[in-house]
Amino acid sequence: MNVITRGVRNAFRNQVRSFSIIVILGLSIGLSLAMLIAHQAVGQKIDSVKASVGNTVTIQPAGFSGFSQVNNALSSSQLDKVKSVAHVNGLAEELTDRLPTTGSSLPSFGGRDAGSGSTTSLTSPVKLNVNGNGPAGGAKLFIGSGDSLPTNFSPPVSFLGTTDPTSVNGTNLTITSGKAIDGSVDGNNALISSAMASKNNLKVGSTFTAYNTALTVAGIYSTSSQGVNNTVIVSLPAEQRLSGQSGDITNAIATIDSLDNLNAATTAIKNTLGSSADVTSSIEQADQTVQPLNNVKSISLYSLIGAVVAGAVIILLTMVMIVRERRREIGVLKAIGGSNAKVMAQFVTEAVTLTVCGAVIGIALGVVAGNPITHLLVTDSNNPSPGGPGGFARAAGPVIRRGFGGGLRGDLSSIHASVGWSIILYGLGAALVIAVVGSAMASFFIAKVRPAEVMRAE
Amino acid sequence: MLKVNDLSKIFESGDLQVAAVNGISFSVPEGQFASIVGRSGSGKTTLLSLLGGLDKPTSGSITIDGQDISQLGDHALIGYRCRTIGFVFQGYNLVPNLTALENVQLPMEFAGLPKAQRQPRAAELLEQVGLTADKQQRKPGRLSGGEQQRVAIARALANKPKLILADEPTGNLDSQTGKMIFDLLHGLAKSQNTTIIVVTHDLEIAGKTDKTFRLKDGKLQKK
């Protein structure tokens, strides 16, 4: 029997209390580990997203959002000035629109698709997951309580007129059949996705209608993005002609010669276009995109600190209570020759024993719960608050709060938290910190116990 | 030889000063069995605390074998309590989750005695105070009051102290058991040449000791 053995045995002196303390400590350490796992996973995701951004600058009409009515579209003459800005290597210009399927009804959206009167013969290949009730992997659509979709609702089809038909939203397209189109030449040729082709029984050379005009499928591309699957690509002059928006541009992407010049070029473009355009670099876009993840990272960090502090407070109060209960015993130990250090060592061992037992439970809990908690935090952070802007449609009638979020945002939810030895070591480290902090106050009280008190208590 | 010279302990409470022990002088030769009697509040426990190095006197000296313990620092006092003094308390004060054998080993552990030597010595001491082997593995809760006090006496003897201080050692025991414990202490004083000072209310017990001191209001009145 020595100080360590005595301390370990004392930890289980009151078994019910010890069990309760160990469980509470286990929960505290488990939560802190789960938060650490989430913190690391989200941090890695943010780093990977930022590392993957290119050296591009996006230019949109000021205040333009999604498919809002374009009253202040950018003009080709404005963007010509951008081409002459230093370090700008190239400029892809786009005009976007969205058409409902002929014969379908849409909720009362604001924007062109609500009021232009144009339709298309195409049916969207997008599978809808309305309020979580739909096919797994389908585009999520949240509808406000009491609202409903029209019975003959079909998701509208996106049309993209672009000078660079080789990529959409930064995603390079792979043409699987047919050939690419020339983005600078006006013509009634279009590129459609393989999903769109399959849904509408189309192949290269087939025709479909849009804007009351017959368009020919020039090529079929493949992509894994739901949003891009739903997009028909035509040349910019064609889209401007078909949609009656001659000279209008809703989106332009400038490619900068190097990442080092990105900030300088972004500033120069802003100065060139003034208040008529919103100019954001790919880094700024990445920052905006990962903002929800940054929030999760902050929340997980604060929760981690909170859980460790809670654990330390629990063990601290427990040890203070134990020391107060055993004041006489401490006095006796000192009276028969025990030094402060030896008595403290016994109580610190007791605290460490409780904490290590809690850590074992906590590590197991953390390892099991780390991934689900990370997923829950990330999923919640990506759900916009009620009434917030939606990507699919703006609320005007029935509230559709979220639409086809786009590839990047969807990718943000796919975070896998890995649990390595470092996490377990962190867990044991946290337990050690908790035990030391928890024992500190107890040690102070032990040092204050005077052995003479045991005589007076007789 | 224990020698106490003009010993005082004054407690301060605000502006009020209380002399729990007030200018006491006495001596007890080695191997003698002495008793201190007095009413509650007469200063018996304070005197015992001072003799045991649990508290420091306000003035005066306590000399054991030529060493003045009133001059010792805190660290040296721990060593003094560990090696020179054995305590026996009225309420036994055994550690409840340790067996009788383990309780007796505690002072030896504090004194740094190797583990291999502690257990045989503890068992020997428990045999000496009359606790059979089967009871040595029991925790205090499974021992009678008399048996617990025997364990406490064995613990007090663990480091072969020069002085054993017993505070009402028979106070919680019935008269028959109390007499047995008293006889045990008395026998130890003689057989091991250990000085024993007992604080007691029991005048019958006090009458059987080699020397009796009566305390009243912190002052000594030799009987």
* Phi-psi sector, A160: left (phi>0), alpha (psi -120 to 50), beta: beta
Residue A8 at interface with chain B, using a CB cutoff of 8 Å:
no
What residue segments make up the domains of chain A, in order of their start? 3-49+292-456, 56-257
Nearest to A356 by CA among A22, A17, A28, A34: A22
Tell me the chain B residues in contact with residue A332 when contact means C-beta distances shorter than 8 Å. 89, 93, 95
Nearest to B80 by CA among B88, B71, B89: B71
Residue appearing with tokens 């209390």: A17
pLDDT at residue A110, rounded to an integer: 43
What residue segments make up the domains of chain B, in order of their start? 2-222
% of chain A residues with pLDDT over 70: 80
Q: How open is the CA angle B157-B162-B165, to the nearest 5 degrees?
A: 65
pLDDT at residue B5, rounded to an integer: 93
pLDDT band at A445 (very low <50, low <70, confident <90, very high): confident
Chain A nearest-CA distance from B187, in A, is 22
Contact B200, B181 (CB under 8 A): no
Chain B nearest-CA distance from A306, in A, is 35
pLDDT band at A397 (very low <50, low <70, confident <90, very high): very low
Query: CB neighbours (10 Å) of residue B194?
Result: 21
pLDDT at residue B163 is higher than 70:
yes
Q: Taking residues A427-453, what's their average pLDDT?
A: 80
Show Cβ contacts of residue A304 under 8 Å, excluding neighbours closer than 6 positions.
A32, A35, A36, A39
Show Cβ contacts of residue A412 under 8 Å, excluding neighbours closer than 6 positions.
A45, A49, A289, A290, A292, A293, A378, A382
CA distance B21 to B65: 22
Nearest to B87 by CA among B190, B163, B194, B182: B163
pLDDT band at A404 (very low <50, low <70, confident <90, very high): very low
Residue appearing with tokens 């428990």: B126
- Phi, psi angle pair for A277, to nearest 5°: -140, 150
CA distance B198 to B211: 10
Please indicate whether, in this complex, the C-beta atoms of A458 and B167 are within 8 angstroms of each other: yes
Mutation site for B-interface testing, chosen from A5, A322, A346, A458 by largest number of B Cβ within 10 Å? A458
Q: List C-alpha distances in Å: B158 to A145, A339, B84, B101.
A: 80, 17, 11, 11
pLDDT at residue B123 is higher than 90:
yes
pLDDT at residue A174, rounded to an integer: 87
- Classify residue B212 by its DSSP letter: E
CA distance B223 to B220: 9
Rg (CA), chain A: 32
Q: What is the dihedral of CA A30, A36, A39, A45, to 10 degrees?
A: -100
CA distance A255 to A290: 22
pLDDT tens, position by position, A323-340: 888 888 888 899 998 888
pLDDT band at A405 (very low <50, low <70, confident <90, very high): very low
pLDDT tens, position by position, B5-49: 999 999 888 888 888 999 999 999 988 999 999 888 888 889 999
CA distance A329 to B52: 17
CA distance A158 to A234: 11
CA distance B184 to B198: 13
pLDDT at residue B164, rounded to an integer: 92
Pairing of strands B67-68, B59-64: antiparallel
Residue A15 at interface with chain B, using a CB cutoff of 8 Å:
no
pLDDT band at A398 (very low <50, low <70, confident <90, very high): very low
Show Cβ contacts of residue B58 under 8 Å, excluding neighbours closer than 6 positions.
B8, B9, B10
Comparing A12-16, A320-324, A396-400, the range with the smallest average pLDDT is A396-400
pLDDT tens, position by position, B63-85: 998 889 988 888 888 989 998 99
Q: Which residue in chain A is spatially nearest to B74 when comparing CA positions? A: A339
CA distance B204 to B186: 14
Comparing A72-86, A133-147, A397-411, B166-180, the range with the smallest average pLDDT is A397-411
Comparing A379-393, A415-429, B90-104, B178-192, the range with the smallest average pLDDT is A379-393
pLDDT band at A294 (very low <50, low <70, confident <90, very high): confident
pLDDT band at B181 (very low <50, low <70, confident <90, very high): confident
Pairing of strands A251-256, A88-99: antiparallel
Among the partner residues A339, A451, A458, nearest to B45 by beta-carbon distance = A458
pLDDT at residue A400, rounded to an integer: 30
Please indicate whether, in this complex, the C-beta atoms of B93 and A10 are within 8 angstroms of each other: no
Tell me the chain A residues in contact with residue B82 when contact means C-beta distances shorter than 8 Å. 336-337
Please indicate whether, in this complex, the C-beta atoms of B98 and A6 are within 8 angstroms of each other: yes
pLDDT at residue A217 is higher than 90:
yes
**Amino acid present at A447:** A
Q: How open is the CA angle A161-A163-A164, to the nearest 5 degrees?
A: 105
The DSSP result for B36-99, as a single string, is EEE-TTSSHHHHHHHHTTSS--SEEEEEETTEEGGG--HHHHHHHHHHTEEEE-TT----TTS-
pLDDT at residue A216 is higher than 90:
yes
pLDDT at residue B99 is higher than 90:
yes
Pairing of strands A167-168, B211-216: unpaired
Q: Taking residues A64-71, what's their average pLDDT?
A: 54
pLDDT at residue A407 is higher than 50:
no
Tell me the chain B residues in contact with residue A337 when contact means C-beta distances shorter than 8 Å. 78-79, 81-83, 107, 110-111, 159
pLDDT at residue A318, rounded to an integer: 86
Comparing A315-319, A439-443, B207-211, the range with the smallest average pLDDT is A439-443
| Global pTM value | 0.63
Please indicate whether, in this complex, the C-beta atoms of A336 and B82 are within 8 angstroms of each other: yes
pLDDT at residue B202, rounded to an integer: 78
Q: Taking residues A362-382, what's their average pLDDT?
A: 82
Nearest to A248 by CA among A63, A69, A101: A69
pLDDT at residue A66, rounded to an integer: 53
Q: Taking residues A411-436, what's their average pLDDT?
A: 74
Q: Which residue in chain A is spatially nearest to B168 when comparing CA positions? A: A458
Q: Domain B2-222: which topology?
A: Rossmann fold (3.40.50)
CA distance A178 to A219: 4
Please state the three-class secondary structure of chain A as a single string.
Answer: CCHHHHHHHHHCCCHHHHHHHHHHHHHHHHHHHHHHHHHHHHHHHHHHHHHHCCCEEEEEECCCCCCCCCCCCEEHHHHHHHHCCCCEEEEEEEEEEEECECCCECCCCCCHHHHCCCCECCCCCCCEEECCECCCCCEEEEECCCCCCCCCECCCEEEEEECCCCEECCEECEEEEECCCCCCCCCCEEEEEHHHHHHCCCCCCCEEEECCEEEEEEEEEECCCHHHHCEEEEEHHHHHHHCCCCCEECEEEEEECCHHHHHHHHHHHHHHHHHHEEEEEHHHHHHHHCHHHHHHHHHHHHHHHHHHHHHHHHHHHHHHHHHHHCHHHHHHHHHCCCCHHHHHHHHHHHHHHHHHHHHHHHHHHHHHHHHHHHHHHHHHHHCCCCCCCCCCCCCCCCCEEECCCCHHHHHHHCCCCCCCHHHHHHHHHHHHHHHHHHHHHHHHHHHHCCCHHHHHCC
Residue appearing with tokens 């003959």: A152
Please indicate whether, in this complex, the C-beta atoms of A1 and B109 are within 8 angstroms of each other: yes
Please indicate whether, in this complex, the C-beta atoms of B110 and A454 are within 8 angstroms of each other: no
pLDDT tens, position by position, A180-215: 899 989 999 999 999 999 999 999 999 999 999 999
Q: Taking residues A347-363, what's their average pLDDT?
A: 88
pLDDT band at A146 (very low <50, low <70, confident <90, very high): low
Please indicate whether, in this complex, the C-beta atoms of A451 and B81 are within 8 angstroms of each other: yes
Q: Taking residues B102-108, what's their average pLDDT?
A: 94
- Phi, psi angle pair for A22, to nearest 5°: -60, -40
pLDDT at residue A425, rounded to an integer: 82
Name beta bridge partners: B114: none
Please indicate whether, in this complex, the C-beta atoms of A452 and B49 are within 8 angstroms of each other: yes
